[in-house]
Each structure stands twice: as structure tokens, then as C-alpha cells.
Structure 1
Amino acid sequence: MKETENIFLDLINQHKAIIHKVSKMYTDGTEEQRDLFQEIVLQLWKAYPGFKGNSKFSTWMYRVSLNTALVYFKKDQRKVDKTPLDAHIDVMDNTESDQKEEKLAYLYKAVQELNAVEKALIFLFLENQSHKEIAENLGISELNARVRLNRTKEKLQIIIKKNGYEF
């Protein structure tokens, strides 16, 4: 049992950024982020005996983390906030730091208007997941993932334009 626990903890430490990003995306405060982080780790531990290694650990971890966040959000009716867009600042042009922060803030505000599933789609897209990987993580077909992601990206563009955010 101790060996299993050590392996699990090593894997969690290697991939804890996934949990941080999901926690940040689905909560609006530091306290809630910590609570969700702990809940995700607990659910990962409970589900770990069922991990058969048929996929990469990180893929399995995305799925459990996102499902936990979706249930957590619905159960407690928490206000959703923010996505892991920090990692993708490089998509923006190389303007000064303040301008990057302002653009990032606009993106966060726009993403707040998406529903929980749309946020999951954008999160996985920004994590450079393929349509196939997105489908696996969300438990939907690849075609459904592709269509829903395209619709979500269009919706995000409309929100950005509607709110007058300038990129």
C-alpha cells in the first residue's frame, strides 16, 4: 500500500499543474481553488485503483479532474471564473507586459461568460489537446468535440467583440 501511495504522489507532483489549472478555471477565489484542488486529489486517489494504464496518466488525470470540477461546480453552484490562459500569452503579440496583462484580463472576463462544458473545451484546446484527446477527456465523440469546440470558439469571439475587448 505504501508503494502505491508513493507512486500516486509522484505522479500527482509531476502533473499538479493540471489540477491547478482546472481549479483556477472553475473557481473564483483562492479559498475555493484550494478546496477544489483538494477535492480533485481526493477523487484521483479514489479512482487510482481503477487506472489501468490504457491511456497516459495525464490524460486520465484530465478526465477525472474535469469531471470532478463539473460535479463540484454543479453540486455547490459555485460561480465559475478564469481559465488557464496564462500559459498561452505567447499567442498574443510581444507587446509590453502591462498590455499583455490587460489582454489576459479581457480573455478571463470573456471566458467567465462560457458555461462549464464550454470552459472545459477551451481549457483542453488551450492545453494543445487534439480533438480525439478532447473527446476522450469529456466522454464524447470526436466529431461532437470538434463541433462543440468550434461553436465555443465562435461564442468566445462574439463575447469578446460584444464587450469591446480589443486584441
Structure 2
Amino acid sequence: MDLSTTMAGEQRAVFAELLQLHRGIVFKVAGSYCRLPEDRADLAQEIAAHLWQAYPRYDASRPFSTWMYRIALNVAISHLRSQRTPATVPLDDSAVEVADPQARDPLAEQQVHALHRFIHAQPALDRALLLLYLEDRGYREISEILGISETNVATKISRLKQRIRNEL
């Protein structure tokens, strides 16, 4: 067997394992930028294809999830810009997860719905910032993913938090 064929097969296997391990990132980003299930599936496929194309340039000394987020968000933002109408995600009861159905808190659910509406009304970059911030990503990681300075991340998040307080 040709050594280059073996290396390519190993590279595919490693990529497939990493993609499987971090697939939630792809679905979260696609779900944040597309309204319809078929659009989310198409965007997830497009993200996966871009990830595969970029994988040979991935620097293994850096976190895979950071690299993956950056590509996924760039693809999603490009996809959003190519649409004629802004993409939003419908808010229904499935958007709110409640661990114990008996412990449903209507006020908390209402606040979660309001937060979702706020997030989906934001421009693409602010939506990405909020998505990453709500995932407890640090400012440094967010800055690496989005390609903006940590200071810019901190400033934008602070302003978004203030807008959330004012609007909600």
C-alpha cells in the first residue's frame, strides 16, 4: 500500500473522530443561524465541508474546538449574508429545556424566550459573541475564534449585557 494513501486514510479517520467529538459546535452554530430544519441541515453540511477543506491547515498545537468554531461561524456568517432576509430561529417550547417538567417556571421560560428573541435579532457578529459567551468561552478564546482583540470582545460583551438589561 502506498504511504500517502495510508496517511490520507489516517488523516480522514482523525478528522472524523474530532468532528464527531465536537459535532455539537456545528449543530449549535447552524441552529443559531438558520430557521428551518432543512436549512440548518444544509448549513451543517456546508460547515463540515469547509472544515474538511481547511483541516490540512489545522495547527494541532491549538485547541480543535477553537479552530472549529472559527470556521463554523465564518461559514454561518457568510451564509447569513448571502440570504435576502435575516435568518431567525422560531421560538417554541422546544427552545426551553426544563429538567423537571413539574418544576416549570413560566416567568423563567418567558425570560429565556425574550433572551432568544434578543439574540436572534442581533447582527451576525454580536450573535456569535453571545453564543460563545453563553457557552462560557473565555475572552481570549472568543477573540481567537472571531479574529478580534480581547479588548474588543470585552467591550462588545459589556455593551450587549447592558442592552439586554435595558431591553429585557
Q: Secondary structure at the match of 2:61?
A: coil
Deviations 1:61-107 (A, max 9, x none): 01111111111111234523249xx69979xxxx9336254433222
In structure 2, the gaps of 5 or more residues are 1-7
Q: 1:147 to 1:102 in 2, by over 3 A?
A: same
Work out whether 1:34 is the aligned partner of 2:49: no
Aligned mate of 2:129, from 116, 121, 124:
121
Is the aligned partner of 1:104 residue 2:103?
no
1:157 equivalent to 2:165? Answer yes
1:23–1:36: 8 Å Cα contact kept in structure 2?
Answer: yes
Query: Which is higher, the Rg of structure 1 or of structure 2?
Result: 2
3-state SS of paired residue (2:142): helix
Give the corresponding residue for 1:145: 153
Deviation of 1:117 (Å): 0.7
**Number of matched pairs:** 155
Which residue does 1:48 correspond to in 2?
55
Identity among equivalent positions (%) equals 32
Q: Do structure 1's residue 20 and structure 2's residue 24 form an aligned pair?
A: no
Shift of 1:6: 1.2
Counterpart contact for 2:70–2:146, Cα < 8 Å: yes
Q: Using the TM superposition, give the Cα deviation of residue 4 of structure 1 relative to its aligned residue in structure 2, in angstroms.
A: 1.0
Q: Which amino acid aligns with 1:152?
A: L
Question: How far did 1:129 drift?
Answer: 0.7
TM-superposed CA distance for 1:58, in Å, is 0.7
Runs of 4+ in structure 1 displaced over 3 angstroms?
86-90, 100-103
Partner-residue secondary structure (3-state), 1:68: helix
Q: TM-score w.r.t. structure 1 length? A: 0.83
Aligned-partner Cα distance in 1 for 2:98–2:145: 24
C-alpha distance 140-39 of structure 1, shift in aligned 2 (>3 A): same
Distance 2:167 2:22 in 1: 32
Give the equivalent residue in structure 1 for 2:4: none
Q: How many angstroms apart in 1 are the aligned matches of 2:123 and 2:97? A: 21
The structure-2 alpha-carbon separation of the partners of 1:96 and 1:110, relative to structure 1 and needing over 3 Å to count, comes to farther
Q: CA RMSD in A?
A: 2.5
The separation in 2 between residues aligned to 1:78 and 1:38, in whole angstroms, is 21
**Long gaps (5+) in structure 1:** 161-167
| CA distance in 2: counterparts of 1:88 and 1:140, whole angstroms | 32
Q: Provide the secondary structure at the position in 2 that maps to 1:61.
A: helix
